Structure 1
Amino acid sequence: MALVTAAVLVPVVVALVVLVNVLGGSVDASDADHSGHGPATIDGTAPPQREDLPVVPVEVPPVTPEADASCPALMGTLPLELTGEPSRRVDSDSPYAYAWGDPPIVLVCGVDRPAGFVTGVSAMQINGVQWYVDTSDPESTVWTTVDRPVYVEITLPADVDSGPVTALTPQIAEALPYREPQPGP
């Protein structure tokens, strides 16, 4: 008899605990009716959402046949959130531009080879993807892949470390096959 009672009682107690937590387990003391119905009040501000951020204008080179052949595979894998920053809309002449956060982190697939990537200049490798890093602008750091069928550029605000680049390398490596780097003259 005790086993039957325990077998019935345990699921009932678990169900009650779940219901209390779902329906009103955390009610702010400042709620007027104290009924536990409706959302709890949370102190602080919510992080910005995609629709809260203004549209980012993004300058892009003309779309090439190589970009049309390669970039859709990458663009379809980009995350809605990158290192805690929500994606945001872009205004661009190319469908291969994407942005996150404020100030924006901007990715453009199908850019030109970076001017500074010449023979003798070393590239940095992160998770199997080789990058040329341009720090000449004090406002931003520009990371460009140099070992894929098209160049992918990620522009970061100067005070942002390589975290977003590191986070995106798995998608780049999977979507775009390796190609021997081809520095300029």
Structure 2
Amino acid sequence: MFLGPSAALLLMAAAGCSSGDAQASVTVPSPSPEAAAYCRALHKELPDTVAGLERSDPGPGSDLTAGWGDGAIVLRCGVPRPAKMDDDQSKGTDADGVNWMLEQRDDNGPRFTTTLRKAYVEVTFSVEYAHDATPLAAFAPAVRKTVPNRL
């Protein structure tokens, strides 16, 4: 079926896909009630700025997601345990007392997921931050305060 230019623009506007919409969109996780409670507490403690970027939470609005710099840095709390954590060759990093597993994504920046916590917190960076894990330190105080260790 062919849609003329006017119909296509109307369809894009109805779907919220206008080219002027700068807000990022992410999939909201569906954690257990216990993990969701940790995530709600984490959401309240997250910083207003990370790596000089202002907070601009992605849509749809949720206590399980947060963002900075219109999608340059996105946090999702309560994600499933990544299968990559079973790989002995997976790489990790420590940022101010919080351990993160690193996953390099094709055509995107890195994804970091907390390890050994009662809720998994995932942070993705755009390609501009592909070689800079230092923004993770901005999340460490909030994660340490609100998401307990599994041990």
Shorter-chain TM range is 0.7 to 0.9
Q: 2: distance between equivalents of 1:122 and 1:89?
A: 28
Which residue of the other structure, out of 147, 163, 166, is the alignment partner of 2:134? 163
Matched, 1:129 2:98: yes
1:68 matched to 2:39:
no
1:124: how far off? 2.2
1:65-122 alpha-carbon deviations (Å, 9 max, x no partner): 1222211111101111112101113213742100001452000110011121115245
| TM-score normalised over the length of structure 1 | 0.62
RMSD: 2.0
Q: 1:84 maps to what in 2?
A: 52
Q: Which amino acid aligns with 2:120?
A: Y
Instruction: State which of 104, 111, 119 in structure 2 corresponds to 1:142.
Output: 111
2:122 to 153, 156, 175: 153
Checking the alignment, whether the CA contact within 8 Å between 1:63 and 1:94 is kept in structure 2 is no
How many residues matched? 128
Contact between 1:54 and 1:89, CA under 8 Å: does it hold in 2? no
Unaligned stretches of 5+ in structure 2?
1-20
Query: Would you say 1:177 and 2:148 are equivalent positions?
Result: yes
**The residue matched to 1:76 in structure 2 has which SS?**
helix
> Paired residue for 1:106?
74
Q: Do 2:118 and 2:149's aligned partners in 1 also have CA atoms closer than 8 Å?
A: yes
Q: Residue 168 of structure 1: CA displacement?
A: 1.1
Higher relative contact order (CA 8 A, sep 6+): 2
Gapped runs of 5+ residues in structure 1?
Answer: 1-52, 181-185
1:159/1:68 Cα in 2 relative to 1: closer, same or farther (>3 Å)?
same
